């Protein structure tokens, strides 16, 4: 490490958005052929720093050096040309274009001035192969908008890998929507890239991932670098303390007594997926659905909530076969957290308060008119309750960090006060401390008699959180079993169909 010149050096990088300082003179050194982890709580400034390195944002102060030469990218394309590629936290694909077209976007191969589809396909195939080693492959001409969040994430990563001249690869929470197998393949690829001398800057809220893949780490807190060093010289506890600025207690009390059935599914079949799903969800219980990407777990939640059509089978809420539209479901006390906060979960252009209260405006009415005051009070309450980092209820959701956006989406369901929570990847992008707090909150909700049906790619999370777990495989939901006696490995094998 020492001896060879660093790949990238950042000195005193500072950035403010309006009057809000986000980064205060951050310095960073990335070695050649290493994986460097960037850690920090939601809103600490990680994505902002990464965007500066990738030419997406301009720093207010400070200087950058890439392989010893001054580096001040004028934009993402310029950064690309210098060998810096980034995978953003939020998907940035063109939904109407195909997989291959997205992967070569911005550097389309040309022959005599015309687009070369063959060359594009070849390049895309090569990049995807790095991530799939002959396993599941995506059709190159599939429209990206029709893919699941995890599949889109793979396309996004492949796009960054499609460059042979890449020197620094920046990954901002690449695994937040990936399943176990995809994470494994990504890690194998990253290790191979590191061997080839690439430098990788990696953001994740999963400390186990950091421990496995990263050589060095830097912890940001409130836009300041508060700790750094070699990963093997530190403990997870020390990292969490550095991120939070104080010791964090992670309690996992779980003594619940489920009540009567509130949601029951009988042989539910959707338009394409799921193929057959039956389950009973009781008051005061957390039921998990484990499944691989494409197994139909998201489709099941959407069908139950009335966003997708139910082709056959029966959904009963508190014993009644009610109307199956999102509006009716909400009235019946059933709410859904979307897996895709940017495209579906949130209206990014609207304020925090408007997003939070959107599904339930009635309590805000005073003499028939919406009260700004009531709206603010409701928003302020949930901002405080979930520790959301926002300037205030009027800030646009677009301006929040990814994890804080996720918290807004969760807060809407809590504000709505639904009885049955259908949660699709609820902790996506949420930091370690907040994840523990959210788990605790879910426990409290259950104690109040609410019921939670949860889908997560992270099976260890399901085991930690759920009373029972059912495995979904190729659209068919297995029986729900008590988590005591289940372990992650067994779930993974079942989800894979073994």
Partner 1 sequence: MKELLRRSWVGPLAALVAVYALFSVLAPATFPGGVNLTTMLRQTAVVAVSSLGMTFVILLGGIDLSIGSAVALTSVVVARVLQSGAGVVAAVTLGVLATVVTGWLNGVLAARGKITPFIVTLGSMSVLRGVAKGLAGEQKIDADPHGLEHLMTAGAGAALPAGVWLTLALAVAAAIVLHFTVFGRHVLAIGSNENTARLCGIPVERVVVAVYALCGALTGVAGVLEFSTLTVGDPTDSIGLELEAIAAVVIGGGSLAGGQGSVAGTLLGALLMTVIKTGCTHVGLPNWVQEILTGVIIVVAVGIDRLRRR
**Between 308 and 494, whose beta carbon lies closer to partner 1?**
308
330 φ, ψ to 5°? Answer: -60, -40
- Minimum Å gap between C-beta 51 and ligand ATP is 8
In the shown chain, the binding pattern of residues 400 to 419 toward Mg ion, with x for contact by CB under 5 A and - for none, equals -xx-----------------
Query: Are 351 and 357 spatial neighbours (Cβ–Cβ below 8 Å)?
Result: no
- Minimum Å gap between C-beta 382 and ligand ATP is 16
- Minimum Å gap between C-beta 203 and ligand ATP is 7
Q: Considering just the CA atoms, what is the radius of gyration of the chain in Å?
A: 23
Which residues form the interface with ligand ATP (CB under 6 A)?
A: 17, 20, 22, 40, 42-48, 89, 389, 399-404, 429, 431
Binding to Mg ion by residue 204, rule CB under 5 A?
no
Q: How far apart are CA 236 and CA 240, in angstroms?
A: 6
**Between 395 and 401, whose beta carbon lies closer to Mg ion?**
401
Q: Residue 294 binds which entry of ligand ATP, Mg ion, partner 1, none, with Cβ cut-offs from 5 to 8 Å by kind?
A: none
Q: Residue 330 binds which entry of ligand ATP, partner 1, Mg ion, none, with Cβ cut-offs from 5 to 8 Å by kind?
A: partner 1
213 φ, ψ to 5°? Answer: -105, -30
Q: Do strands 261-270 and 277-282 pair parallel, antiparallel, or not at all (unpaired)? A: antiparallel
Binding to Mg ion by residue 132, rule CB under 5 A?
no
**Between 23 and 334, whose beta carbon lies closer to ligand ATP?**
23
291 contact partners, CB below 8 Å, separation of at least 6:
297, 455, 471, 472, 473, 495
Q: How far apart are CA 163 and CA 81, in angstroms?
A: 10
**Between 49 and 186, whose beta carbon lies closer to Mg ion?**
49
- Minimum Å gap between C-beta 447 and ligand ATP is 28
Q: Which helix (H) or strand (E) holds 73?
A: none
Q: What 8-state DSSP symbol labels residue 134?
A: T
Q: How far apart are CA 170 and CA 395, in angstroms?
A: 28
Helices (DSSP H) in 54-175: which residue ranges? 76-81, 99-103, 117-132, 149-161
Q: Residue 191 binds which entry of Mg ion, ligand ATP, partner 1, none, with Cβ cut-offs from 5 to 8 Å by kind?
A: none
Q: Residue 350 binds which entry of ligand ATP, partner 1, Mg ion, none, with Cβ cut-offs from 5 to 8 Å by kind?
A: partner 1
- Minimum Å gap between C-beta 340 and ligand ATP is 16
- Minimum Å gap between C-beta 256 and ligand ATP is 30
**Between 175 and 406, whose beta carbon lies closer to partner 1?**
406
Of 81-89, 193-201, 238-246, 289-297: span binding Mg ion (CB under 5 A) = 81-89
Q: How far apart are CA 6 and CA 2, in angstroms?
A: 9
- Residue 135's alpha-carbon distances to 124, 132, 162, 258, in angstroms, are 16, 5, 19, 41
Q: How far apart are CA 223 and CA 62, in angstroms?
A: 14
Query: Are 303 and 381 spatial neighbours (Cβ–Cβ below 8 Å)?
Result: no
- Residue 238's alpha-carbon distances to 27, 38, 234, 248, in angstroms, are 21, 15, 6, 10
Which residues form the interface with partner 1 (CB under 8 A)?
A: 18-19, 307, 325-331, 336, 338, 343-350, 354-355, 358-359, 361-362, 365, 368-370, 412
- Minimum Å gap between C-beta 415 and partner 1 is 11
Residues at the interface with Mg ion (CB under 5 A):
47, 89, 401-402
């Amino acid at each position: 490490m020492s001896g060879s010149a660093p790949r990238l050096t950042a000195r005193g990088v500072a950035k403010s958005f309006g009057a809000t300082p986000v980064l205060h003179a951050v310095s960073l050194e990335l070695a050649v052929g290493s994986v460097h982890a960037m850690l920090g709580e939601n809103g600490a400034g990680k994505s902002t720093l990464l965007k500066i390195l990738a030419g997406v944002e301009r720093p207010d102060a400070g200087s950058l050096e890439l392989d010893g030469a001054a580096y001040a990218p004028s934009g993402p394309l310029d950064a690309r040309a210098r060998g810096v590629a980034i995978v953003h936290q939020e998907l940035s694909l063109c939904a109407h274009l195909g997989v291959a077209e997205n992967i070569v976007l911005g550097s389309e191969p040309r022959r005599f001035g015309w687009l070369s589809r063959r060359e594009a396909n070849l390049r895309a195939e090569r990049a995807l192969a790095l991530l799939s080693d002959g396993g599941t492959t995506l059709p190159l001409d599939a429209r990206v908008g029709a893919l699941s969040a995890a599949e889109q994430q793979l396309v996004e990563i492949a796009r960054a890998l499609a460059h042979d001249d890449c020197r620094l690869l920046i990954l901002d929470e690449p695994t937040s929507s990936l399943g176990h197998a995809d994470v494994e393949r990504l890690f194998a690829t990253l290790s191979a890239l590191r061997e080839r001398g690439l430098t990788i800057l990696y953001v994740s809220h999963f400390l186990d991932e950091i421990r496995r893949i990263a050589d060095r780490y830097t912890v940001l807190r409130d836009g300041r670098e508060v700790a750094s060093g070699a990963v093997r010289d530190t403990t997870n506890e020390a990292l969490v303390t550095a991120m939070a600025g104080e010791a964090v207690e992670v309690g996992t009390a779980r003594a619940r007594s489920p009540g009567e059935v509130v949601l029951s599914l009988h042989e539910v079949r959707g338009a394409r997926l799921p193929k057959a799903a039956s389950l009973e969800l009781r008051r005061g219980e957390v039921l998990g659905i484990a499944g691989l990407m494409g197994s139909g777990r998201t489709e099941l939640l959407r069908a139950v909530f009335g966003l997708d059509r139910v082709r056959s089978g029966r959904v009963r809420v508190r014993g009644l076969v009610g109307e199956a539209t999102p509006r009716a479901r909400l009235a019946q006390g059933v709410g859904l957290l979307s897996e895709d906060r940017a495209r579906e979960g949130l209206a990014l252009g609207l304020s925090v308060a408007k997003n939070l209260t959107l599904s339930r405006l009635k309590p805000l009415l005073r003499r028939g008119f919406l009260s700004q005051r009531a709206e603010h009070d409701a928003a302020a309450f949930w901002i405080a309750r979930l520790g959301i980092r926002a300037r205030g209820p009027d800030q646009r959701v677009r301006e929040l960090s990814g994890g804080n956006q996720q918290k807004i989406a969760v807060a809407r369901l809590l504000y709505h006060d639904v009885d049955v929570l259908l949660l699709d990847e609820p902790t996506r992008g949420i930091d370690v401390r907040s994840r523990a707090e959210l788990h605790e909150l879910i426990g409290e909700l259950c104690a109040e008699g609410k019921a939670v049906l949860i889908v997560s790619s992270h099976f260890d999370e399901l085991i930690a959180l759920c009373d029972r777990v059912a495995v979904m495989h190729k659209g068919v939901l297995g029986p729900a079993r008590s988590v005591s006696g289940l372990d992650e490995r067994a779930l993974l094998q079942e989800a894979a169909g073994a």
